[in-house]
Amino acid sequence: MDIITSKDNETIKNIRKLKDKKYRDVHNLYIVEGIKMIQEAIEENAKIKQIVVCEDCIKDEGCIEQKFLYQIAKYDCIYVTSKVFGLLTDVVNPQGMIAVIEKESGEEKIKFTEDIIVVLDGIQDPGNLGTILRTIDSTGLSQVVLSKTSVDAYNPKVVRSTMGAIFRVKIIEAEDLVQTLKNMKKHKFKVLATSLSGAQSIYDVDFSKKVIVIGNESKGVSKEILEVADSKVKIPMLGKTESLNAGVATGVILYEYVRRKVTKY
């Protein structure tokens, strides 16, 4: 088994570059880290291009189950020293395994057969985006539309916080979000923008053929998008807090949709 010991190795340099969005976009690749995430990638038939394994994990019996080592042996695996692995990881206590994965290729088309479509307008926090992707996945929905001003969905911090949902939720990046919303309206969808000044409560919304727009953490939904929206909706607040975290707000709205799906009341 050959072990890469140099940080100047060409393969290592190329993987390190994938921490930068520019290179992720150019090469259509991203990285995931951790045994569970790689197991999820395998189970979901993600396009795994390469797996990097820290030699210490192989030496430490019990660190990785033998069954899993057999699984990853089917892929292009490279082995590196702990020092080299440390250059690739962003995790404080890494599990010693990283996979390079190809993004879903081809034109990303919106699926208009689902009840609701979540649109994110300028979400900036990686943790928020990861939480939202997990929530979308948990509610049985399978896609999200992102504005160009949103944080990159393949940012390593976002990927980690999705806990595997990144492999199941189709990410559609809208070049022109206003035009994308207008196209959705042509498919008989109503656009609902979340806003503190909304006149309608999310508990009064008919969740059928609706686009739910979640705005930027500090500025909310942009003026251009509000002008396209059919109506503005809000989450009723009983306390003194004026607004909710974007990830929490998305969860509240989507689980009202779930409640309607699973109850007769």
Q: Indicate if 125 and 52 belong to the same structural domain.
A: no
Q: What is the DSSP string of 71-92?
A: HHTTS-EEEE-HHHHHHH---S
Q: What percent of the chain has pLDDT over 70?
A: 95
- What are the DSSP E strand ranges found in the chain? 3-4, 29-33, 47-54, 77-80, 97-102, 116-121, 143-147, 170-174, 190-194, 200-201, 210-215, 231-234
83-133 pLDDT per residue, tens: 999 999 988 888 889 999 999 865 568 999 999 999 999 999 999 999 999
Q: How is residue 51 written in tokens?
A: 């797996």
Residue 214 is part of a domain; what is its CATH number? 3.40.1280.10
The answer as to whether 110 is a domain residue is no
| Alpha carbon distance 30, 99 (integer Å) | 8
pLDDT of residue 108: 67
Q: Indicate if 89 and 204 belong to the same structural domain.
A: no
| Alpha carbon distance 199, 142 (integer Å) | 29
Cβ atoms of 74 and 55 closer than 8 Å: no
Strand (E) or helix (H) holding 252 = helix 246-262
Instruction: Give the best-scoring range by mean pLDDT among 88-92, 198-202, 254-258.
Output: 254-258
pLDDT of residue 137: 97
The answer as to whether 108 is a domain residue is no
Of 62, 77, 102, the residue that ends a domain is 102
Q: Indicate if 41 and 160 belong to the same structural domain.
A: no
Q: Indicate if 80 and 146 belong to the same structural domain.
A: no
| Alpha carbon distance 98, 100 (integer Å) | 7
Give the residue numbers spanning the domain of 94: 3-102
Domain count, the chain: 2
Q: What percent of the chain has pLDDT over 90?
A: 77
Closest CA to 34 of 116, 90, 94, 74: 94
Q: Indicate if 143 and 209 belong to the same structural domain.
A: yes
Q: How is residue 30 written in tokens?
A: 């991203």
119-141 pLDDT per residue, tens: 999 999 999 999 999 999 999 99
